Amino acid sequence: MENVLKVENVSKTYGKFTALNNVSISVPKGSVFGLLGPNGAGKTSLIRIINQITLPDSGKIYLDKEELKPEHVHQIGYLPEERGLYKSMKVGEQALYLAQLKGMSKSDAKKKLDYWFEKFNISSWWDKKIQELSKGMAQKVQFIVTVMHQPKLLIFDEPFSGFDPINANLIKDEILKLRDEGASIIFSTHRMESVEEMCEHIALINKSNKILDGKLSDIKSQFKENKFEVGLQCENKIELFNEIKEKFEVEKTDAESDIDLRMLVTLSANDTSTNLIKFLNSKAQINHFTEIIPNANDIFLKAVANNE
């Protein structure tokens, strides 16, 4: 798959503090890429380097196979975690100014803005000052300002913070729509459920190092623990549980059921699910059998814990 962005061996230090240590990531074209990591891991440093706000000490960055250069800022849209607009400037004027700074002509910017303002049903705000708007309203303006110049790479840092669930959903749909229209998206967040929902690829940064990256589905199978949830129909639950416990590593599950015996079975590395099914089948009737797949949250916690 083609990459829209390639970060190669980027390092950055501030005095004695290392913010990024030899970090490389590749963001595939037309997908949502989750940039994850605990607070202070170095995500913002990396995002700022991609935006050319700061320069890396070493390493190279390519946007669409070209080495990053100043003109590329026109092809990137950035929504920083710390939102902000000029408080005493009018919404429309401000959006036009920011669009022109991104290289748009005034007339193009006006057309694009009309489109977005109508779409979000906020055309009446054009002559209002930002300080007259609520936080959520200002966030909408900020989202428009980020995407209006149709950049090929969009970087969203916690895009849903400050939005109510309805508007958060609206923004999510817009982000996915932008992806479908061909934009590539870097998405940095701590909300793991939205990672699960939106990201095809992720990279995990911890303590200035990249500790994990790849396709989310690949990472999930990589983090599988050969763990299965089984449900067996039987008369004497305790006796059967103890019998299985002798052969396999078993634990009770929260999803206790009245009808059947539920448990989690973890297989050793050289054991297979087929063996487990054969064994269980000989003991009782199986009416439930699923493999436990770790979610993004589990992966995050586990990867960071392993890295400590």
Partner 1 sequence: MNKLKLIIKREFLAKVKNKSFIIMTILSPLLMVGLIMLIVFLNQKNSEEIRTVAYVDESGMLASVFENSEHTKYLNITELGLEEAKNKTNEFYYGLIYIPKAENLNNLSEGISFYSADSPSLGLLSSIEGRLEKKIQNLKLEELNFDLEKLKTTETRVDFNTENFTGEKSSKIGSVLKMAAGGGFGYLIFMFIIIYGTSVMRSVIEEKTSRIIEVIISSVKPFQLMLGKIFGNALAGVLQFIIWMISAGALLTVVTLIFGPEATDMSGAQGVGMTSEMVGQVQQTASNDLQLVLLEMKNLPIMTMFFSFIIYFIGGYLIYSSIYAAIGAAVDSETDTQQFMMPVLMPLMIAIYVGFSVIENPHGPIAVGFSIFPLTSPIVMLMRIPFGVPWWQLLISIVLLVVTFIGIVWFAAKIYRVGILMYGKKPTYKELYKWLKY
- Helical spans, DSSP H, in 21-164: 43-50, 91-101, 106-119, 135-147
Taking the complex as a whole, the smallest distance from the CB of residue 96 to partner 1 amounts, in Å, to: 10
Taking the complex as a whole, the smallest distance from the CB of residue 110 to partner 1 amounts, in Å, to: 15
- Tokens 């935006």, residue? 51
Q: Distance between CA atoms of 281 and 176, rounded to whole angstroms? A: 45
Residue among 33 and 78 whose Cβ is closer to partner 1: 78
Nearest to 122 by CA among 140, 139, 107: 140
Residue among 3 and 142 whose Cβ is closer to partner 1: 142
Structure tokens at 8: 């190669």
- Three-class DSSP category at 174: helix
Length of the chain: 308
Q: Distance between CA atoms of 32 and 49, rounded to whole angstroms? A: 19
Task: Give the Å distances, CA to CA, from 197 to 191, 217, 306.
Answer: 10, 12, 25
Structure tokens at 63: 């946007």
Residue among 87 and 245 whose Cβ is closer to partner 1: 87
Q: Residue 250 CB: number of other CB atoms within 10 A?
A: 16
Residue among 35 and 304 whose Cβ is closer to partner 1: 35
What secondary structure does DSSP assign to 207-240, as a single string?
TTEEEEEEEHHHHHHHT--SEEEEEEE-S-HHHH
Taking the complex as a whole, the smallest distance from the CB of residue 141 to partner 1 amounts, in Å, to: 11
Taking the complex as a whole, the smallest distance from the CB of residue 44 to partner 1 amounts, in Å, to: 9
Under 8 Å between Cβ of 145 and 93: no
- Tokens 């059947």, residue? 260
Taking the complex as a whole, the smallest distance from the CB of residue 172 to partner 1 amounts, in Å, to: 21
Residue among 109 and 232 whose Cβ is closer to partner 1: 109
Residue among 1 and 101 whose Cβ is closer to partner 1: 101
Residue among 87 and 278 whose Cβ is closer to partner 1: 87
Q: Residue 204 pairs with which residues in a beta bridge? A: 36, 212
Q: State whether the Cα torsion 65-67-68-73 is positive or negative.
A: negative
Residue among 53 and 301 whose Cβ is closer to partner 1: 53
Taking the complex as a whole, the smallest distance from the CB of residue 74 to partner 1 amounts, in Å, to: 8
Task: Give the Å distances, CA to CA, from 176 to 31, 136, 169.
Answer: 9, 20, 11
Taking the complex as a whole, the smallest distance from the CB of residue 115 to partner 1 amounts, in Å, to: 20
Interface positions with partner 1 (CB under 8 A): 14-15, 48, 51-54, 70, 73, 76, 78, 80, 82-89, 97-98, 100-102, 142, 145
Taking the complex as a whole, the smallest distance from the CB of residue 28 to partner 1 amounts, in Å, to: 22
